[in-house]
Chain A
Amino acid sequence: MVFLALGIEGSANKIGVGIVNGDGEILANPRRTHIAPPGSGFLPKETADHHRAHILDLISEALSQAQVTLSNISLICYTKGPGMALPLSVGALVARTLSQLYNIPIIGVNHCVGHIEMGRLVTKAENPTILYVSGGNSQVIAYNESRYRIFGETLDIAVGNCLDRFARIINISNDPAPGYNIEQLAKQGKNLIELPYVVKGMDVSFSGMLTFIESIAKNHSQEDLCFSLQETAFAMLVETAERAMAHCNSNEVLIVGGVGCNLRLQEMVKDMLKDRNGKLHAMDDRYCIDNGAMIAYTGMLQYQHGDRMELIDCTFTQRFRTDEVLVTWRS
């Protein structure tokens, strides 16, 4: 019989269900996104309501796409954290219920590790330096001695959070994503406004930049503001990624997380790598945007390497650092 893992992801504004087989092949991976009105972010309660309204349909959709039934599923995986508590609770609850109803083993997965493992599977990158940039995280990560070690990270807000909040300040639409709309406006930007550039070793800070740009937003065009914000924030990320690469003697970069979809960021990383003869593995929906398959695949790796979870331990947590996970499946 084929090993099939079903993964549920719902740590932020996306709810996704993925089905992956033992070879890491994605059989189904549908998702829905909760989009907040302009000028507002996604709030825990509304997001959880959204997830509750869609999760059962998504499971049926995934099963029929994969042409299997729940009794064929060998393992249920869900996002244990990090994320917003209420949205996370929806995925955890449904995962526990399915596990008991159909008597299937269950496993909780670290969301960040999910991104990384899916990225490695899809790109076949051996041992890349990982730039993890999303609405909740900005980290530079590299693998060392059974853990994904965080070499650098934001000292305050995530880069995606900075972009999202900036979009709210100047009232840009959240559809399909605030970052996407900023990227489009930035293409028309001409003048680089000087913004605070804060790099401390391999760490970065974005909150000062956000406060500053808010204070001058009235004096400049939307296009120039978006352009300057992107250019400055991304230059900080690229610089820290390069510093980590130099520190670890690595010459591959894997970008994961939602901000990784930004073509300008990809271009800048490529540019940096050209000087070092390095290689970029970038952007693919399967690992950049939150989805169920990455949780299913990572949970499967954990399970196949002996990780087990009792029902009582199948909780969820808002805080769950990437380096807390013992990586048993890499040697």
Chain B
Amino acid sequence: MDLTLISQGAEGKIYTCTFLGKKSIKKERISRSYRQKSLDTKLRERRLIQESRNLVKIRKEGVPVPGLYFVDTITCSLYMEFITPSISLKNFFIQNPSIPQSLLSDFANQIGKSVALMHNVQCIHGDLTTSNMLLKPQVSLATEILNDFSPADYLVNPCMVYFIDFGLSYGSSTPEDMAVDLHVLEKAISSAHPQLEKIFIEILAAYKIHKRKADSVLTKLEQVRMRGRKRLAFG
């Protein structure tokens, strides 16, 4: 198979490949030598299954995620839809220093809604960062234009925010876990894109509209934030 490594995250290696004649993504959870064998196997297998289950589950809810093609439990690999052209939200923010407010609001709405839809079916993403969100243009363009889509092109074409990397996702119905999920996102934004901190307010607003019983989660979020402040008691 024509594997091309495109990134190496903490979870594993991401390749592009051809799967049944279709350009696809292969995500392989490689064995990590720093941890004990039994722990390593347990983590890889558990996360592989969680990721595939949750991908299928929330795709049904209408959250934009890559389609799942095949699960290989021997090598702990997933074969998925290749989202292209696309750019991670993180790189988009970094490479476009000035982004119109209307566009930011659009993305915030999409993110808030998608997270709400996931939480409505008790799926906690577990690693909501801007690296794990991809922008994909929603227009049908000629292949040659799509092939050299530049970061600035994403500013002028309407885009859909895709969610990837469900490797740390799990099922839970408690407001606590959902609040922590949102808190992870809040911190990821404030630490990686401090100048865009305000976008989180809009994300929460959209979340509130689409999440059932959003109030209990948002109240919990307040407590989770306070906990973060209080935690630093010692040096």
Q: Which residues of A contact B (CB under 8 A)?
A: 11-12, 79, 81-84, 111-112, 134-137, 142, 144-145, 147, 149-151, 153-156, 158, 161, 192, 194, 197, 199-203, 231-232, 235, 238-240, 242-243, 245-248, 267-269, 271-272, 274-276, 290, 318-321, 323
Q: Contacts A246-B131, A268-B35 given; indicate if A151 touches B234 (C-beta within 8 A).
A: no
When C-beta atoms are compared, the residue in chain B nearest to A317 turns out to be: B232
Q: Which residues of A contact B194 (CB under 8 A)?
A: 144-145, 147, 149
How many residues of chain B have a CB within 8 Å of chain A?
41
Q: Which residues of A contact B36 (CB under 8 A)?
A: 192, 231, 235
Q: Tell me the bound Cα distance from A268 to B32 in angstroms.
A: 10
Q: Which residues of A contact B53 (CB under 8 A)?
A: none
Contact present for A155 and B235 (CB under 8 Å): no
Q: Which residues of A contact B7 (CB under 8 A)?
A: 246
Contact present for A134 and B235 (CB under 8 Å): yes
Q: Contacts A144-B191, A151-B187, A192-B38 given; indicate if A82 touches B233 (C-beta within 8 A).
A: yes
Q: Which residues of B contact A248 (CB under 8 A)?
A: 192
Q: Tell me the bound Cα distance from A239 to B181 in angstroms.
A: 18
Q: Contacts A192-B36, A192-B38, A238-B34 given; indicate if A318 touches B192 (C-beta within 8 A).
A: no
Q: Contacts A145-B194, A155-B180, A268-B34 given; indicate if A11 touches B235 (C-beta within 8 A).
A: yes
Contact present for B34 and A272 (CB under 8 Å): yes
Q: Which residues of A contact B139 (CB under 8 A)?
A: none
A–B pairs, 21, beta carbons within 8 Å? A11-B235, A82-B234, A136-B232, A144-B194, A145-B195, A149-B191, A149-B194, A150-B187, A151-B188, A153-B231, A192-B38, A201-B168, A202-B188, A231-B39, A235-B36, A235-B39, A238-B34, A247-B90, A267-B34, A268-B35, A318-B234
Interface residues of B in 199-233 (CB under 8 A from A): 227-233
Contact check: which of B127, B187, B228, B231 meets A243 at CB < 8 Å?
Answer: B127
Q: Tell me the bound Cα distance from A173 to B199 in angstroms.
A: 50
Contact present for A144 and B192 (CB under 8 Å): yes
Contact check: which of B11, B33, B42, B234 meets A158 at CB < 8 Å?
Answer: B234
Q: Contacts A268-B35, A272-B32, A272-B34 given; indicate if A111 touches B235 (C-beta within 8 A).
A: yes
Closest 3 CB pairs of A and B: A136-B234, A11-B235, A83-B235
Q: Contacts A149-B191, A242-B10 given; indicate if A275 touches B126 (C-beta within 8 A).
A: no
Contact check: which of A135, A197, A199, A232 meets B234 at CB < 8 Å?
Answer: A135
Q: Contacts A151-B187, A200-B168, A238-B34 given; indicate if A12 touches B235 (C-beta within 8 A).
A: yes
Contact present for B234 and A276 (CB under 8 Å): no
Contact check: which of A111, A156, A192 meets B231 at CB < 8 Å?
Answer: A156
Contact present for B126 and A136 (CB under 8 Å): no
Contact present for B39 and A247 (CB under 8 Å): no
Cβ distance B95 to chain A, nearest Cβ, rounded Å: 13
Contact present for A269 and B34 (CB under 8 Å): yes
Cβ distance B185 to chain A, nearest Cβ, rounded Å: 8
Q: Contacts A247-B131, A271-B33 given; indicate if A321 touches B229 (C-beta within 8 A).
A: yes
Q: Which residues of B contact A290 (CB under 8 A)?
A: 235
Contact present for B35 and A151 (CB under 8 Å): no
Q: Contacts A200-B180, A232-B39 given; indicate if A319 touches B232 (C-beta within 8 A).
A: yes
Q: Which residues of A contact B191 (CB under 8 A)?
A: 142, 144, 149-151, 323
Interface residues of B in 1-40 (CB under 8 A from A): 7-11, 30, 32-36, 38-39
Question: Is B129 located at the chain interface by the 8 A CB criterion?
Answer: yes
A-B CB pair tally, cutoff 8 Å = 137
Question: Is B99 located at the chain interface by the 8 A CB criterion?
Answer: no
Question: Is B43 located at the chain interface by the 8 A CB criterion?
Answer: yes
Q: Tell me the bound Cα distance from A290 to B235 in angstroms.
A: 9
Q: Which residues of B contact A (CB under 8 A)?
A: 7-11, 30, 32-36, 38-39, 42-43, 90, 126-129, 131, 168, 180-181, 184, 187-188, 190-192, 194-195, 227-235
From A12, A83, A247, name the one whose CB has the most chain B CB atoms within 10 angstroms.
A247
Contact check: which of A161, A197, A235, A245 meets B34 at CB < 8 Å?
Answer: A235
Task: Knowing that A12-B235, A112-B235, A321-B229 touch, tell me 12 more A-B residue pairs with CB under 8 angstroms.
Answer: A83-B234, A151-B191, A154-B231, A156-B231, A158-B234, A192-B38, A200-B127, A240-B10, A245-B10, A246-B7, A271-B32, A271-B34
Contact present for A201 and B128 (CB under 8 Å): yes
Q: Tell me the bound Cα distance from A208 to B171 in angstroms.
A: 18
Q: Which residues of A contact B181 (CB under 8 A)?
A: 200
Q: Which residues of B contact A83 (CB under 8 A)?
A: 234-235
Contact present for A246 and B235 (CB under 8 Å): no
Cβ distance B164 to chain A, nearest Cβ, rounded Å: 13
When C-beta atoms are compared, the residue in chain B nearest to A246 turns out to be: B9
Cβ distance B37 to chain A, nearest Cβ, rounded Å: 8
Q: Tell me the bound Cα distance from A12 to B232 in angstroms.
A: 13
Q: Tell me the bound Cα distance from A245 to B8 in angstroms.
A: 11
Contact present for A192 and B39 (CB under 8 Å): yes
Contact check: which of A136, A153, A231 meets B235 at CB < 8 Å?
Answer: A136
Contact present for B35 and A246 (CB under 8 Å): no
Q: Which residues of A contact B129 (CB under 8 A)?
A: 201-202, 247
